[in-house]
C-alpha cells in the first residue's frame, strides 16, 4: 500500500504579499501608461499634445517625484493640475479673445535641424528637434486663447528652391515670413525659436528641485529700426523677470563683425529671436520654460491689445 505523506505548507508572510501586490499594481499602471501613449501618439503633434498635457512627458530625466496620487494624476495621458514650481498666475491675465483664435503669433525655426538632448524620446522614434518647441508653445498659447501658426515648411527646401546658400539660412526663413504674412494678414508677432550652443551650466536653472531651460532674447543691431525690436525684447524680459528672474538670460544685442546682425528683425518691430535652453537641455526642461514663456507673451499681448483699444 502506497503511503501518502502530506507536504508541509509554506506560509508566506502577509506583508510580503502586500509588497508584491503593490509592485504589480505600480507596474501595471506604468505599463498601461506606456502602451496607451504609444498607440495614442501616432505622430509628432499627437505626442506633443500628450507631453503638454503633463502625462509621461513630465517624468524628468533626473528624478521622479512620487508625490501623493502621482500615478493617478499622470497615467493614461489625462491632463492634470500639476503642482507648479513657477507660478503661472502672474498678474491678472484675462483670456484674450482674438476673433475666435485668429492667428496673431507666427512661430518658426530658422535652424530646424538643431536638437535638444535626447532622453526617452528614442522610444517613440521621435528626435527632439527645436521645431517641437514651437508646437509646444503653440499649445500653451492656445490656453490663453491666443491663436498662433507654426511653420512646417522646411527651410532647406526654400534654400534649394530659391538657390540660396545654407550659410544664408535667414534669407530662407525670411521667404517663409513673407509667405506667412500674406496667408495670415492678422499675424503681428514673429518669433524664431532657437537652441543655444552654450553648455548646461549656462542654459539651465534649478528651481525647487526642477530644472528649467533658461530663456535669452536676441536682438540684432545691424538695421535701422533695431531700437524698436530691442524695446519689444526688453518688455518681454521685464515680464519674465517679474515671474522669476532666474529663468532669464537677459537681452543680448548682437551686431557688427562676427554676427549676422539682423536675424530677419527688419521684417517688423515685433520680430524676435528667442533661445530657449541649449544643446544640453532636455525637452522636459524646455517644456516647463515654454509654459512660462506663453504666460509672458499672453501678458504682453493683452497689454498691447488694451493699449490699441
Helix (H) / strand (E) element for 265: namely: none
Q: How far is CA 172 from CA 112, 179, 197, 287, in A?
A: 12, 11, 21, 27
Indicate whether 32 and 153 sit together in one domain.
no
Contact in structure between 205 and 214 (CB atoms under 8 Å): yes
Indicate whether 78 and 104 sit together in one domain.
no
Give pLDDT, residue 100: 56
Indicate whether 28 and 158 sit together in one domain.
no
For residue 71, the tally of other CB atoms under 10 A from its CB is 15
Which of left, alpha, beta for 101 (phi over 0: left; psi -120 to 50: alpha)?
Answer: left
Indicate whether 101 and 74 sit together in one domain.
no
Q: What is the DSSP string of 9-48?
A: PPPPPHHHHHHHHHHHHHHHHHHHHHHHHHHH--SHHHHH
SS3 166: helix
For residue 128, the tally of other CB atoms under 10 A from its CB is 21
Residue that has been written with the C-alpha cell 528641485 in this structure: 209
Indicate whether 94 and 79 sit together in one domain.
no
Residue 107, phi then psi, degrees to nearest 5: -110, 125
Measured in whole angstroms, the distance separating CA 99 from the mean position of its chain's CA atoms is 25
Indicate whether 74 and 93 sit together in one domain.
no
What is the extent of the structural domain holding 17?
Answer: 10-83
The set of residues, in sequence order, having a beta carbon less than 8 Å from that of 78 and lying 6+ positions away, is 53, 55
Indicate whether 53 and 133 sit together in one domain.
no
Tell which residue, 170, 196, 39, has the closest CA to residue 110: 170
pLDDT values of the chain reduced to their tens digit, one per residue, 309 residues = 555 555 555 555 666 677 777 788 777 776 666 655 555 444 555 555 545 554 333 433 333 333 333 333 333 333 333 334 565 554 444 443 334 578 999 999 999 999 998 765 554 445 689 999 999 999 999 999 999 999 999 999 999 999 998 889 999 999 999 999 999 999 999 999 999 999 999 999 999 999 999 999 999 999 999 999 999 999 999 999 999 999 999 999 999 888 889 999 999 999 999 999 999 999 999 999 999 999 999 999 988 644 554
How many domains does the chain contain in total? 2
For residue 82, the tally of other CB atoms under 10 A from its CB is 13
The set of residues, in sequence order, having a beta carbon less than 8 Å from that of 176 and lying 6+ positions away, is 108, 151, 153, 155, 158
Give pLDDT, residue 128: 86
Indicate whether 92 and 79 sit together in one domain.
no
Tell which residue, 255, 257, 244, has the closest CA to residue 291: 244
Indicate whether 42 and 72 sit together in one domain.
yes
CATH at residue 273: 3.40.630.40
Q: Is residue 2 part of a domain?
A: no
Q: How far is CA 125 from CA 37, 38, 43, 47, 161, in A?
A: 13, 11, 10, 11, 29
Give pLDDT, residue 25: 77
Q: Is residue 112 part of a domain?
A: yes
Among 83, 104, 130, the domain-final residue is 83
Amino acid at each position: 500500500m502506497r503511503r501518502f505523506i502530506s507536504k508541509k505548507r509554506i506560509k508566506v508572510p502577509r506583508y510580503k504579499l502586500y509588497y508584491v501586490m503593490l509592485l504589480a499594481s505600480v507596474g501595471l499602471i506604468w505599463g498601461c501608461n506606456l502602451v496607451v501613449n504609444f498607440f495614442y501618439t501616432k505622430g509628432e503633434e499627437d505626442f506633443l499634445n500628450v507631453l503638454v498635457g503633463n502625462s509621461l512627458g513630465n517624468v524628468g530625466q533626473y528624478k521622479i517625484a512620487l508625490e501623493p496620487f502621482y500615478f493617478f494624476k499622470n497615467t493614461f495621458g489625462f491632463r492634470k493640475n500639476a503642482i507648479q514650481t513657477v507660478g503661472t498666475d502672474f498678474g491678472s491675465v484675462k483670456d484674450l479673445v482674438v476673433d475666435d483664435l485668429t492667428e496673431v503669433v507666427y512661430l518658426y525655426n530658422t535652424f530646424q535641424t538643431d536638437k535638444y538632448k535626447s532622453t526617452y524620446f528614442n522610444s517613440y522614434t521621435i528626435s527632439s528637434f527645436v521645431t517641437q518647441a514651437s508646437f509646444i508653445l503653440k499649445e500653451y498659447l492656445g490656453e490663453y486663447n491666443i491663436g498662433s501658426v507654426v511653420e512646417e515648411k522646411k527651410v532647406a527646401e526654400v534654400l534649394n528652391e530659391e538657390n540660396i546658400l545654407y550659410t544664408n539660412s535667414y534669407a530662407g526663413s525670411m521667404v517663409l515670413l513673407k509667405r506667412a504674412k500674406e496667408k495670415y494678414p492678422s499675424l503681428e508677432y514673429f518669433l524664431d525659436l532657437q537652441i543655444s550652443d552654450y553648455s548646461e551650466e549656462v542654459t539651465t536653472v534649478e528651481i525647487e528641485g526642477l530644472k528649467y531651460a533658461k530663456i535669452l532674447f536676441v536682438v540684432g543691431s545691424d538695421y535701422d529700426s533695431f531700437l524698436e525690436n530691442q524695446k519689444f525684447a526688453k518688455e518681454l524680459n521685464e515680464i519674465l523677470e517679474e515671474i522669476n528672474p532666474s529663468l532669464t538670460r537677459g537681452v543680448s544685442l548682437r551686431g557688427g563683425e562676427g554676427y549676422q546682425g539682423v536675424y530677419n528683425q527688419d521684417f517688423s518691430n515685433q520680430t524676435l529671436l528667442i533661445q530657449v535652453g541649449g544643446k544640453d537641455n532636455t525637452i522636459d526642461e524646455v517644456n516647463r520654460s515654454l509654459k512660462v514663456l506663453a504666460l509672458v507673451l499672453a501678458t504682453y499681448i493683452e497689454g498691447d491689445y488694451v493699449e490699441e483699444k
